[in-house]
Structure 1
């Protein structure tokens, strides 16, 4: 099965593009959604998070307090490393379990892994046949995230500073979707890639070591 890694910066429109591919029959595995699952109340990462960061890392409902952890990670690089050491192996495990079921099922023409930090994670390029980047200008990213999340410009810029740059993402891209224009411009681009992916055969890859999600 052909496997594509879909990525893009915050506010680029990855989720909308992924949904358009799903409407055309593609299988999706979203690592960001998995990250939310394992840090939800009773999630697989919760016991280790409490052990590493104390009970104050949780909200009242038992989920990880994402705002508090975001602030901690931004102020303490060692906290980021500890958080990733807990969450990344679990995300990788769930991802591989779901991918194995999709491959065995044979119900989809290809599989798309939605990986916000694909470039930053290091080894994803070896785990997919192609990298698809959803691209837009940094100004568009900032405007969208401020409107969507209610963040200040400074908050958005701080998040972007910790992600790969636009140039770094484009440098690893096999395919690019331009999402700097109106939403009506997306479906034709997805349609073109859908036809291309259906006609492709997957590359022969050696499974990499389990180091990153």
Structure 2
């Protein structure tokens, strides 16, 4: 199956673009969704996280306390590394299981840290970046999650720069502050149609 790696910084709109591709017939595997499943009540990562970071990081409902963990992870590179050491192998296993069962005109892996991981270039046929400027990212995340600009800046500092993402991109879908939903759909549709053609040629 023709494989696309889809990425973008926080607040870029990559999930909305992935939704378009899925609506148009692609198979979509979102590693962020998998991470949320693993850290939900009863998720496979909860007990290892509890053992490593203590009960304080587990919410009353048995899920990961995302606010506390986010604050710890983005203030301590060591803690972030330990969390990633728990989550990333589990995410990889689930991702591969779902990829093996995937059906669609092509397969999209939505990977927020695709550039940072350095592991995806050889696993996909194309890398697509949903791109926007940092100021737009901050405004969107504040509107969506209510995080402070300082908290968002810490998250962004742990992600690849806009320049680094674009340097790795085979395709770019611009989603800046001036982009309407209709325009975003049109831009996404253009790359979708190219990928469908190439997927047919590959088969």
TM range (shorter): over 0.9
Aligned to 2:147: 151
Q: CA deviation at 1:202?
A: 9.0
Q: CA deviation at 1:71?
A: 1.1
Aligned to 1:163: 159
CA distance in structure 1 between the aligned counterparts of 2:12 and 2:79, rounded to whole angstroms: 27
1:148-196 deviations in Å (ceiling 9; x for gaps): 1111222211211111000000000000001012222111112111111
Detail structure 1 runs of 4+ shifted over 6 Å in the superposition.
none
Q: Is the alpha carbon distance of 1:50 and 1:110 closer, same or farther for their aligned partners in structure 2, counting shifts above 3 Å?
A: same
Contact 2:105 2:199 in 1 (8 A): no
CA distance in structure 2 between the aligned counterparts of 1:203 and 1:130, rounded to whole angstroms: 15
Aligned to 2:25: 25
Aligned to 1:82: 82
Note the residue ranges of structure 1 that are not aligned, 5 or more in a row. Answer: 205-213
Aligned to 2:53: 53
CA distance in structure 2 between the aligned counterparts of 1:173 and 1:50, rounded to whole angstroms: 37
Name which of 181, 188, 196 aligns with 1:190.
Answer: 188
Note the residue ranges of structure 2 that are not aligned, 5 or more in a row. Answer: none
1:16-65 deviations in Å (ceiling 9; x for gaps): 10011111000000000000000111101111111111111100000011
Greater Cα shift, 193-202 or 165-174: 193-202
CA distance in structure 2 between the aligned counterparts of 1:202 and 1:3, rounded to whole angstroms: 12
Number of residue pairs matched by the alignment: 200
CA distance in structure 1 between the aligned counterparts of 2:74 and 2:104, rounded to whole angstroms: 39
Query: How do 1:197-212 residues align onto structure 2 when only pairs under 5 Å count?
Result: 197-201=195-199
Name which of 95, 106, 110 aligns with 2:106.
Answer: 110
CA distance in structure 2 between the aligned counterparts of 1:85 and 1:153, rounded to whole angstroms: 28
CA distance in structure 2 between the aligned counterparts of 1:94 and 1:76, rounded to whole angstroms: 27
Normalising by structure 1, we get a TM-score of 0.90
Q: CA deviation at 1:75?
A: 2.2
Aligned to 1:174: 170
CA distance in structure 2 between the aligned counterparts of 1:8 and 1:2, rounded to whole angstroms: 20
RMSD over equivalenced CA pairs, Å? 1.5
Contact 1:3 1:202 in 2 (8 A): no
